Amino acid sequence: MLLKINKLVLFFIIICFISMMIPRVFGIAAGNIFLQDFYAKRIMTVASLPFFLLIIFLSVKNKVTKINRFIILYVIFFIIILINSFIFRNSLKLILLDAFIAMLPIFFYLLVNKSGFKVDDYLKYFGLFLTIACVMVILGFKLQFSYFSLLGIAYVFFLTKFSFKSVIFIIGTPALIMNTLIGKSSLIMIAILVLYFFIFEKTLISKQKKIYLAIVPCVIILIGAIVFWESIKTTGAYINTVYFFRHANFKTFNFTDMSTGHRIYEASVVLKEFSDSNFYINLFGNGLGSTIDLSGTNDVAVAGSNSDLSKVRHIHIGIFAVLYRFGLLGLLIYFTFIYRIFKSCKNILNNSNNYALSLSALYVVVIIFDSFISFPHMMSNFMFWIITFIIFSESDKISLTNKNNLIY
Tell me the per-residue pLDDT of 78-107, one tens digit each, with 9 for 90 and over.
999 999 999 999 999 999 999 999 999 999
Q: Tell whether the model's pLDDT for residue 327 goes beyond 70.
A: yes
Residue 227: partners with Cβ closer than 8 Å, 6 or more residues away:
none
Show the DSSP H helices in 62-197 as ranges. Answer: 69-87, 92-102, 104-114, 119-138, 150-154, 164-180, 184-195
Res 2: pLDDT: 47
Q: What letter would DSSP give residue 248? A: E
Res 5: pLDDT: 73
Residues 318 and 372 sit within 8 Å (Cβ to Cβ) = yes
Tell me the per-residue pLDDT of 290-323, one tens digit each, with 9 for 90 and over.
999 998 887 767 776 777 888 988 899 999 999 9
- Computed over every residue of the chain, the mean pLDDT equals 86
Q: What is the band of 1 on the pLDDT scale with cuts at 50, 70, 90?
A: very low
Q: Tell whether the model's pLDDT for residue 369 goes beyond 70.
A: yes
DSSP 289-318: T--B--TT---HHHHHH-S-TTSB----SH
Higher pLDDT: 190 or 169? It is 190
| Three-state SS at 257 | coil
Res 115: pLDDT: 81
Q: Tell whether the model's pLDDT for residue 399 goes beyond 80.
A: yes
Task: Name the most confidently modeled range: 161-165, 191-195, 268-272.
Answer: 268-272
| Residue 248: φ, ψ to 5° | -120, 135
Q: What is the band of 356 on the pLDDT scale with cuts at 50, 70, 90?
A: very high
| Residue 285: φ, ψ to 5° | 85, -175
Stretch (H or E) spanning 255: strand 254-255
Average pLDDT of the residues in 250-258: 68
Res 328: pLDDT: 97
| Residue 312: φ, ψ to 5° | -90, 135
Higher pLDDT: 164 or 50? It is 50
Average pLDDT of the residues in 159-168: 64
Res 3: pLDDT: 46
Percentage, residues of the chain above pLDDT 90: 42
